[in-house]
């Protein structure tokens, strides 16, 4: 089993994940402490502290359960005792990130670990960070804190927003165990998804906060109605997609997804998500506009806020949302994983390079622009088998005709000597050219009509698909042909000039 450290892109991705997670925890703890010190904010202190404690405990329980299901039998008693102690000490996230950052790990476990961390981050984001942004945003709108407290609250809101957007950007529909081998992320894809989520989540949370500043608890009714609509929509989708008996797990899945749809869209099915995305974001756009209009036409709003602040609220509600949708369109049309995998395969075919199959992906975060796996491998060229020409053995017919070759060739054609290396070209007694030079007559053997190359003088055009023939042999054949023609003309001229 190959054991190695993670590649640099996976390490950078995990470092960014660690920073966003622990910065969110740190600033939220500070904000909760300041709320506890502020008079009149004790109820908000209790709510935020409860949300933070709940998210941490839930993450520990799920992490421990996954460890017991997946790795319990692989470790010794001392090892799992330490790991259980870390979970009891609320350090599950620290333990899991430390394994990826500092310890060598088997590559077949990397994607499973990334899948577990992605789910844990989603739990933390939607149990704690959502409530943090909503409650701190509402307290900021009331403007009842000092300047220093406001700065800390702004930092806590920013880190919570980053945590939510990062969790959504690194979340992938291939976290299912059956599709875990397809879990691949690209750097450009994560950045664009982060910007897309930042725009839509900011607009959504701001619309909810400004509505709450005037109408208070009525926002709860609005959220319940939205959850019911999303739940029914998800149930109908699942029933059309899977015509089977539903279990409690299916109902629970739809309930959790409907809660996530309160803020942003997540796609977990294997079918196309284009129609679902268009419908969802149209619904959110209408809801955000409705929340803003109800807030802006309220009498209390016009008494508390100026016209400039109301216009600013309109810009904050619309511009981030539209910007996020533009980034989403750019991502799905240019930088989506499936599109760039096809592009990589086409370029690989053109350049003689083929990507590994999905099962060969050893990394999760890919540095390349398109996701084609952890590496590219050179496609082996299929050797062209060039059969040698059939140079058969020579048998004489006994009638003076040139010998007829039959049977297999005696030896490979590339080992046969060229015509200029034959003995009859080097021995004067057997060389017809020598006889011509001394006698002045053309031997019959040089007559072109009687010329027939010997087996050693044959030219071999052994590949009709474009391979080069034996040029040396062809050159000797042309030389003898031209020499025979010149000798015949000289003989004819001498015959005409001889007196009768």
pLDDT tens, residue by residue, 399-430: 555 555 555 555 666 666 666 544 444 444 44
Q: Domain check: are 366 and 458 in the same one?
A: no
Q: Output the pLDDT for position 461.
A: 43
Please say if the pLDDT value at position 209 is more than 90.
yes
Q: Domain check: are 42 and 121 in the same one?
A: yes
Task: Decide if 48 contacts 152 (C-beta within 8 A).
Answer: no
Q: Which of 45-59, 132-146, 159-173, 451-465 has the highest mean pLDDT?
A: 45-59
Higher pLDDT pick, 428 / 130? 130
Cα-to-chain-centroid distance, residue 154: 36
Residue 373: which region, alpha, beta or left (left: phi > 0; alpha: psi -120 to 50)?
Answer: left
Tell me whether residue 330 is in a domain.
yes
Domain boundary among the residues 377, 403, 432 is at 377
Burial 328-352 (b: 16+ CB within 10 A, else e): beebbeebbbeebbeebeeebeeee
Q: What percent of the chain has pLDDT over 90?
A: 34
Tell me whether residue 332 is in a domain.
yes
Task: Decide if 291 contacts 208 (C-beta within 8 A).
Answer: yes
Count of domains for the chain: 2
Going by pLDDT thresholds of 50, 70 and 90, the confidence category of residue 248 is confident
Q: Output the pLDDT for position 427.
A: 47
Task: Decide if 228 contacts 310 (C-beta within 8 A).
Answer: no
Going by pLDDT thresholds of 50, 70 and 90, the confidence category of residue 12 is confident
Q: How far are the Cα atoms of 48, 154, 214, 476 from residue 142, in angstroms, in the given order?
A: 17, 14, 10, 103
Q: Which residue has the tokens 């802006």?
A: 296
Q: Give the ranges where 261-393 is alpha helix by DSSP (H).
A: 274-296, 299-304, 307-330, 337-351
Q: Domain check: are 323 and 471 in the same one?
A: no
Q: Domain check: are 298 and 168 in the same one?
A: yes
Task: Decide if 59 contacts 93 (C-beta within 8 A).
Answer: yes
Higher pLDDT pick, 195 / 75? 195
- Parallel/antiparallel/unpaired status of strands 365-366 and 185-186: parallel
Please say if the pLDDT value at position 277 is more than 90.
yes
Domain boundary among the residues 377, 405, 440 is at 377
pLDDT, mean of residues 211-222? 92
Going by pLDDT thresholds of 50, 70 and 90, the confidence category of residue 440 is very low
Average pLDDT over the chain, rounded to whole? 75
Task: Decide if 404 contacts 394 (C-beta within 8 A).
Answer: yes
What is d(CA 284, CA 385) in angstroms, rounded to the nearest whole number?
A: 64
- Diameter over CA atoms, the chain: 145
Q: Output the pLDDT for position 111.
A: 77
Domain extent for 369: 3-218+273-377
Q: Output the pLDDT for position 161.
A: 95
Tell me whether residue 440 is in a domain.
yes
Q: Output the pLDDT for position 325.
A: 95
Q: Output the pLDDT for position 348.
A: 46
Tell me whether residue 116 is in a domain.
yes
Chain segment 342-362, per-residue pLDDT in tens: 554 444 444 444 443 433 444
Q: Domain check: are 114 and 201 in the same one?
A: yes
Going by pLDDT thresholds of 50, 70 and 90, the confidence category of residue 121 is very high
Q: Output the pLDDT for position 370.
A: 44
Q: Which of 118-127, 266-275, 413-422 has the highest mean pLDDT?
A: 118-127
Q: Output the pLDDT for position 115.
A: 83
**8-state DSSP, 181:** G
Structure tokens at 184: 């691949």
pLDDT, mean of residues 111-123? 87
Tell me whether residue 30 is in a domain.
yes
Residue 357: which region, alpha, beta or left (left: phi > 0; alpha: psi -120 to 50)?
Answer: beta
Q: Output the pLDDT for position 371.
A: 41
The least confident of 157-171, 303-317, 343-357, 380-394 is: 343-357
Of 112, 106, 97, 113, nearest to 11 by C-alpha is 97
Please say if the pLDDT value at position 27 is more than 70.
yes
Q: Which residue has the tokens 């409705």?
A: 290
Structure tokens at 269: 């099915």
Please say if the pLDDT value at position 463 is more than 60.
no
Please say if the pLDDT value at position 363 is more than 80.
no
CB atoms within 10 A of CB 267: 16
The least confident of 62-71, 279-288, 289-298 is: 62-71
Q: Output the pLDDT for position 147.
A: 84
Structure tokens at 32: 């909760």
Q: What percent of the chain has pLDDT over 70?
A: 63
Higher pLDDT pick, 251 / 101? 251
Q: Domain check: are 7 and 141 in the same one?
A: yes
Q: Domain check: are 361 and 425 in the same one?
A: no
Q: Output the pLDDT for position 72.
A: 73
Tell me whether residue 264 is in a domain.
no
Q: Domain check: are 362 and 433 in the same one?
A: no
Tell me whether residue 453 is in a domain.
yes
User: DSSP letters along 273-294, please?
Assistant: -HHHHHHHHHHHHHHHHHHHHH
Q: Domain check: are 20 and 162 in the same one?
A: yes
Tell me whether residue 412 is in a domain.
no
Domain boundary among the residues 344, 359, 377 is at 377
Q: Domain check: are 346 and 431 in the same one?
A: no
Question: CA angle at residue 141 from 135 to 143, to 5 degrees?
Answer: 110
Q: Domain check: are 373 and 456 in the same one?
A: no
Q: Which residue has the tokens 């190959």?
A: 2
Q: Domain check: are 325 and 424 in the same one?
A: no
The least confident of 82-86, 95-99, 170-174 is: 170-174
Chain segment 291-302, per-residue pLDDT in tens: 999 999 988 888
């Amino acid at each position: 089993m190959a054991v190695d450290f993670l590649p640099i892109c996976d390490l950078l991705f995990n470092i960014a994940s660690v920073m966003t997670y622990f910065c969110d925890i740190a600033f939220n703890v500070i904000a909760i402490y300041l709320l506890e010190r502020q008079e009149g904010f004790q109820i908000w202190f209790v709510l935020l502290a409860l949300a933070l404690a709940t998210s941490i405990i839930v993450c520990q329980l799920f992490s421990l359960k996954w460890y017991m299901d997946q790795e319990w039998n692989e470790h010794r008693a001392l090892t799992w005792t330490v790991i259980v102690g870390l979970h009891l000490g609320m350090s599950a996230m620290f333990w899991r990130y430390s394994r990826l950052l500092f310890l060598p790990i088997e590559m077949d476990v990397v994607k499973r670990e990334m899948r577990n961390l992605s789910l844990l981050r989603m739990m933390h984001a939607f149990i704690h960070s959502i409530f943090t942004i909503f409650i701190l945003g509402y307290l900021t709108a009331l403007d009842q804190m000092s300047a220093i407290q406001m700065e800390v609250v702004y930092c806590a809101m920013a880190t919570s927003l980053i945590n939510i957007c990062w969790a959504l950007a690194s979340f992938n529909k291939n976290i299912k165990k059956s599709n875990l081998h397809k879990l691949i992320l690209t750097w450009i894809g994560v950045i664009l998804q982060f910007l897309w989520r930042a725009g839509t989540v900011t607009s959504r949370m701001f619309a909810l906060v400004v509505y709450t500043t005037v109408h208070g608890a009525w926002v709860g009714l609005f959220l319940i109605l939205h959850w019911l609509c999303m739940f029914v929509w998800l149930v109908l989708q699942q029933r059309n997609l899977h015509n089977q008996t539903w279990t409690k797990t299916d109902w629970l899945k739809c309930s959790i997804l409907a809660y996530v749809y309160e803020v942003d869209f997540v796609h977990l099915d294997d079918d196309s998500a284009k129609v679902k995305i268009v419908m969802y974001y149209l619904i959110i756009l209408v809801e955000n506009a409705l929340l803003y209009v109800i807030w802006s036409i309220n009498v209390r709003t016009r008494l508390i806020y100026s016209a400039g602040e109301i216009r600013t609220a309109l810009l904050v509600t619309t511009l981030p949302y539209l910007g996020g949708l533009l980034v989403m369109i750019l991502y799905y049309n240019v930088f989506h994983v499936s599109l760039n995998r096809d592009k990589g395969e086409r370029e690989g075919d053109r350049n003689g390079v083929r990507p590994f199959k999905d099962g060969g992906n050893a990394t999760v975060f890919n540095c390349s622009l398109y996701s084609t796996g952890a590496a590219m491998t050179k496609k082996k060229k299929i050797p062209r088998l060039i059969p040698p020409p059939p140079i058969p053995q020579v048998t004489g017919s006994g009638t003076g005709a040139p010998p007829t070759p039959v049977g297999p060739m005696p030896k490979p054609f590339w080992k046969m000597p060229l015509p200029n290396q034959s003995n009859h070209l080097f021995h004067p007694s057997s060389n017809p050219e020598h006889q011509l030079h001394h006698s002045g007559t053309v031997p019959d053997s040089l007559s072109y009509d009687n010329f027939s190359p010997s087996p050693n003088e044959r030219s071999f055009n052994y590949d009709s698909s474009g391979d080069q023939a034996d040029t040396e042999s062809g050159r000797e054949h042309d030389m003898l042909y031209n020499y025979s023609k010149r000798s015949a003309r000289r003989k004819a001229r001498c015959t005409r000039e001889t007196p009768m």
